Structure 1
């Protein structure tokens, strides 16, 4: 595993001012990391929704629960190798079935198209795997998308997941919390300017505060059980605290917030011990076990 100081230096290198704009100008597409053949010694079945690839992966035996995984990338970047490694970890070490959805991205597409494709993919999964218990799980932008989609399912009467897991979620694309600038200085991986640029490309004609784009402003009742993990030093920490506040005032929603001391954005996708701790926390949550005490983690129930 890499020392935390080296990870921070690497993250700062990646966070060059023009990175998001460069991604939008020359977007990489094709989902090469998620081709079925890339999942060694696992069963992987691919299907397409409106031309967008999805792949369901398991160990070849009965698997539970069935995780619908929505990757991060500021709504402009496709899933990366570390996302696939995270999927494989959930399958191999925790016996889960995981479906990766390569949802539409900006600038080619906006939030409405993304939600439409996700809705079709989820409907197909619930029809194909009728006996499975589904979990929505997303990191970063994928976490925001998972929460927004959960709110849509509640509103439309769709089949609800048994639980939802949000990892360093981007729940306010407008980044309107007054503490945002302070936490930008602490977080080595994110910049407000770059995120706002990407967020506008994703929102298209919708306001950045529309719940389809920024679910922290959406309806919070009846969302069921939600686990949120967040780093104490990441830009999205104030938004996650506000999300917890809103959830605590809602009916039929129970949100558990796990705050990781000194951690940066999306740390759970990196090869450090805190990632292993986060994965164990997810497994405990999905198994209905009370989270065991963990060094450097504050659980706010």
Structure 2
């Protein structure tokens, strides 16, 4: 446990809790706006924004691209937009890999749902795959974006389309029912998340689909035949019990899976790129990406 991770967790506890109730979710969502790529990242990359299937897509191409492509799906419980912390993760990965990163800005609930997101993300994936030499395409996502990333590759598998080389999941939201009995033991330790607000967000995102359907809670689906999964989870995160359950189910389905837990890590701790735990996780991701020729 590093001092910097401990201090970051304490700082998070001092912030208002967005997921305490449905009302706190609504109030917080009304105030939040999408963050543009910071100047430091614009100096590192050419930033291009276009529209695909009616939704924005941001592509960041470094000055000396490596030929590897990464599709990154941001978190935010499906109701909050891309934030500064997401750019920190993306920037760290570009600096370590030289990959071109494509960020699909899927529509947010309550105005949009998973039924719209899956075909949109697939359209983006197809476009990325067409320009990727040797199929060097990777997919990553944090929190809700991790859940969507997993549902996306399941959707591609079911339709007979190619899988990415690897899937990187940072504290993915794989079970939107929040029914795992192990969650209760972590409620006091988690400095960010609360069950009532998360379930409210999940219902908005599902828009009529059962919360335990694979599109909404991909842990409910069949895991065989997916890309290898690298999962990074904090030990003080409500989503840890479901991450462990996912890893066990994946292994039982003969899906290559690695689960790395940072004991003092909070939700999406990899965004705290100044901590040794986050750097270690990002280095691990970069090692996998850079090893593909």
Q: Normalized against structure 2, the TM-score is what? A: 0.90
1:52 to 50, 55, 80: 55
**Per the alignment, in what secondary structure is the counterpart of residue 264 of structure 1?**
coil
SS of equivalent to 2:44? coil
Asked whether the 8 Å contact 2:96–2:286 carries over to 1, the reply is no
Structure-2 separation of matches of 1:172 and 1:49: 28
Matched, 1:181 2:200: no
Give the deviation of 1:70 after TM superposition.
0.3
Q: What's 2:270 paired with? A: 268
Give the root-mean-square deviation of aligned CA atoms: 2.2
1:111, 1:226 → 2: CA distance?
A: 21
5+ unaligned residues in a row in structure 1: which ranges?
A: 290-301
Instruction: Output the CA distance in 1 between the equivalents of 2:285 and 2:41.
Output: 25
2:67 and 2:100 in contact (8 A); partners too: yes
- In the alignment, the residues of structure 2 paired with residue 237 and residue 198 of structure 1 have an alpha-carbon distance, to the nearest angstrom, of 19
Q: Distance in 1 between matches of 2:146 and 2:80?
A: 14
Q: Deviations over 1:239-274 (max 9, x none)?
A: 0110011101114x1011111122111110123221
Distance 2:87 2:61 in 1: 13
TM-score by length of 1: 0.88
Establish whether residue 207 from structure 1 lines up as the match of residue 213 from structure 2: no
Distance in 2 (CA, whole Å) between partners of 1:172 and 1:233 is 17
Where do residues 46-85 of structure 1 align in structure 2 (5 Å cutoff)?
46-85=49-88
Residue equivalent to 1:220: 223
1:90 and 2:93 are equivalent in the alignment: yes
Once residues 51 and 38 of structure 1 are traced to their aligned partners in structure 2, the CA distance between those partners, rounded to angstroms, is 25
User: Cα offset for 1:64?
Assistant: 4.0
Using the alignment, how far apart are the partners of 2:257 and 2:41 within structure 1? 35
1:8 paired residue number: 9
Deviation per CA, 1:203-242: give whole Å up to 9, x if none. 1100110000000111111113110010112111100110
- State whether residues 183 and 234 of structure 1, in contact with CA within 8 Å, keep that contact through their aligned partners in structure 2: yes
Q: 1:158 to 1:114 in 2, by over 3 A?
A: same
What is the alpha-carbon distance in structure 1 between the residues aligned to residue 6 and residue 228 of structure 2?
35
2:110 maps to: 107
Q: In structure 2, the residue corresponding to 1:196 is in which secondary structure? A: helix
Contact 1:21 1:194 in 2 (8 A): no
CA contact (8 A) 2:78 2:144 kept: yes
- In the TM superposition, what are the counterparts of 1:237-256 in structure 2 within 5 Å? 237-251=240-254, 253-256=255-258
Equivalent pairs, count? 286
Question: Take 1:92 and 1:109, find their aligned partners in 2: how far apart are those partners?
Answer: 33
With over 3 angstroms needed to count, the CA separation of the structure-2 counterparts of 1:56 and 1:214, relative to structure 1, is same
